[in-house]
Amino acid sequence: MRMRFTKMQGLGNDFVVIDAIRQRIELDAEQIRQLADRHFGIGCDQVLLVEPPRLPETAFHYRIFNADGTEVEQCGNGARCFARYVRDEGLAEADLIRVGTAAGAISLQLRADGQVSVDMGVPRFAPAEIPLLARSRAPAYDLGAGCRALRIGAVSMGNPHAVLSVSDDLEQAPVAELGPRIERDPLFPRGANVGFMQRQHAAAIRLRVWERGVGETLACGTGACAAMVIGRLWGELEERVEVSLPGGTLLIEWPGEGSPVTMTGPATRVFDGEIDR
Ligand SMILES: N[C@H](CCC[C@H](N)C(=O)O)C(=O)O
């Protein structure tokens, strides 16, 4: 049976977007892995499903699957692509689109300049997926990862994030070595995305992210939000921060605790296709 899809990307974090409103879609973890495979499938970091709404006052349900087949709670770069997709496909007319996710509802704002702003919701410091935070609200934690004690911040953007501050050259950061170890550390029973943040000044950071269920990606939207929030809690960042990732730059705004985080950046359609499934 043929399935239509659209390949999209947000700062090089790439997606296979599937309309599950006008197509009947049933995909198990193995089929997701096959679609995401960069040699035997289409290739992407995440598969995104566009579904009819489930939550009140939302226009769609937005489902996210990592390349390893796991379904997750939130994806920031994917949210911007979701907005662009439903608009281009004529599934939505409004510039402001409210969608439901496994982490609750978020608002997507299509802007006149072609970028998309997303209200990513209020960061959570004592969520079930990071029980460590329930024990203490200190924004920084010492974590013994092997022989090195690391200073680490942890926050949920609906999905779990660990954030490490890196003082020296970000290109030399041990992303491939420490990323998977922290992703699977018992402190994060549902796994974690791991951000390596280098502060440039109070309004700019550089960031690399080892993503749960994928590995290092060219950009991570929720990771950019998490890093900015932790940096701000550490008293090092202002409320508007440019986050430079290997794939490009996001603007992250957060007034402070109890307020939602806003992420602004691009969303690009790459090609449409069909695949047998
Ligand atoms: N790997 C993430 C999901 C995708 C997040 C990322 N692509 C973004 O833009 O936020 C997780 O397992 O929570």
Tens of pLDDT, residues 95-116 = 999 999 999 999 999 999 999 9
Query: If you measure from the C-alpha of residue 115 to the centroid of ligand 1, how many angstroms do you get, rounded to a whole number?
Result: 19
Query: If you measure from the C-alpha of residue 30 to the centroid of ligand 1, how many angstroms do you get, rounded to a whole number?
Result: 19
Q: What is the pLDDT of residue 251?
A: 98
Q: What is the pLDDT of residue 143?
A: 63
Q: What is the pLDDT of residue 247?
A: 98
Model-level ipTM above the cut of 0.90: yes
Tell whether residue 273 is among the known ligand binding residues: no
**Active site residues per annotation:** 75, 220
101 Cβ below 6 A of ligand 1: no
Query: If you measure from the C-alpha of residue 254 to the centroid of ligand 1, how many angstroms do you get, rounded to a whole number?
Result: 19
Q: What is the pLDDT of residue 49?
A: 98
66 Cβ below 6 A of ligand 1: yes
Average pLDDT per block of 10 residues along the chain, 277 residues long: 96 98 96 98 98 97 98 98 98 97 97 98 80 59 58 90 87 92 89 95 98 98 97 94 98 96 98 93
Ligand 1 atom index nearest CA of 75: 10
193-201 and 160-165 beta bridge pairing: parallel
Q: What is the pLDDT of residue 155?
A: 92
Q: What is the pLDDT of residue 147?
A: 41
72 Cβ below 6 A of ligand 1: yes
C-alpha distances (whole Å) from 157 to each of 3, 79, 277 are 31, 13, 33
